[in-house]
Structure 1
Amino acid sequence: MDASGWAAWAAAVTSLATLVVTTVVGGRRERHRWARDALTDAFVAFLEASWRHSDTAGGTAGTDAYAEPLLAEYREMRSQLTRLRLLAADGVVDAGESLLRRQRQVHDVPAGPERDEALAAASRARRAVIDAAKKEMGL
């Protein structure tokens, strides 16, 4: 084989190596991008359900008419927390579980000062989830 033949083989091997490296690195980037996007979506959905739950509970003024909407938002939070368990670190999950417990307390106490106190505790727990989410995402 002459020099041009060796050069062609070298070019082909180099091209194949470049293709493999690009595919592997690109695939990893895509997986990381997907995981980050899925994690962001789970955080947003979890927190939005928490805020809706608190908003609904804050407007109940002692009526039972909001029991089902409160329960629906609580269920949504539980569902989103399952997604967070799959995607996030333990610190985030712990903060999410704490918020879920606080939201349940909001649901369980009667309207009035006790509920106001439970809503304030839920708000603090929500802030802890936000802080944990930012840390998890490197923000």
Structure 2
Amino acid sequence: MSSSALSAAAAIAAAVISLATLVVTTVVTSRREQHKWVRNALTDAFVAFLDASWRGTDALAAREGEEELAKAYADMRSNLTRLRLLASAPVVAAGVELLRSQRAAMTAQEGTTTAALEQCTLGRRKVVEAAKQEMGLR
């Protein structure tokens, strides 16, 4: 083989290796970015869901109007939908349990509100634990 043929073969080999490296890098970067996006979206959904729960609980404790309670509950439902799209079944189950506890607290009879609010607190703890598990923080 002549030196020009060897040079051409080396150039082709270098181009193929370069292309393979580019493809692998693109795939790995894409997966990493997708994972980062999902983690950020999950964090946002967890925070919004828990924030809405706290707003509802605070409104109940302060005996604020029905409007704030309804808004907080609607926000919880909306963010639970986001969690259904992004999170695993245990996270969704904890979220549903908290949403039900929140509804029970909203409709609790006078004198049983404190116990209902305690259930909300327990529900939030379960959501936080499920969130940590989901995000690999435990």
TM-score range, shorter-chain basis?
over 0.9
Q: Equivalent residues in 2 for 1:38-53 (5 A)?
A: 38-53=41-56
Q: Return the TM-score normalized by structure 2.
A: 0.94
Tell me which amino acid in the other structure corresponds to 1:122: C
Instruction: Give the number of the structure with larger relative contact order, counting CA–CA contacts within 8 Å between residues 6 or more apart.
Output: 1
Q: Which runs of 5+ in 1 are unaligned?
A: none
Q: Distance in 2 between matches of 1:38 and 1:109?
A: 33
Q: Return the TM-score normalized by structure 1.
A: 0.93
Determine which of 21, 34, 37 is the counterpart of 1:34.
37
- Show the counterpart of 2:134: 136
Identity %: 55
- Show the counterpart of 2:13: 10
Tell me which amino acid in the other structure corresponds to 2:124: R
Tell me which amino acid in the other structure corresponds to 1:135: Q
Aligned residues: 134
Root-mean-square deviation (Å): 1.0
Q: Distance in 1 between matches of 2:57 and 2:25?
A: 48
Would you identify which runs of 4 or more consecutive aligned residues in structure 1 move more than 2 Å? Answer: none
Is 1:73 aligned to 2:58, yes or no? no
Q: Distance in 2 between matches of 1:59 and 1:117?
A: 15
Q: State the 1:110 CA deviation.
A: 3.5
Task: Give CA deviations for 1:80-134 in whole Å, capped at 9, x if unaligned.
Answer: 00000000000000000000000001110134x3001100010001100000000
Determine which of 7, 19, 25 is the counterpart of 1:22.
25
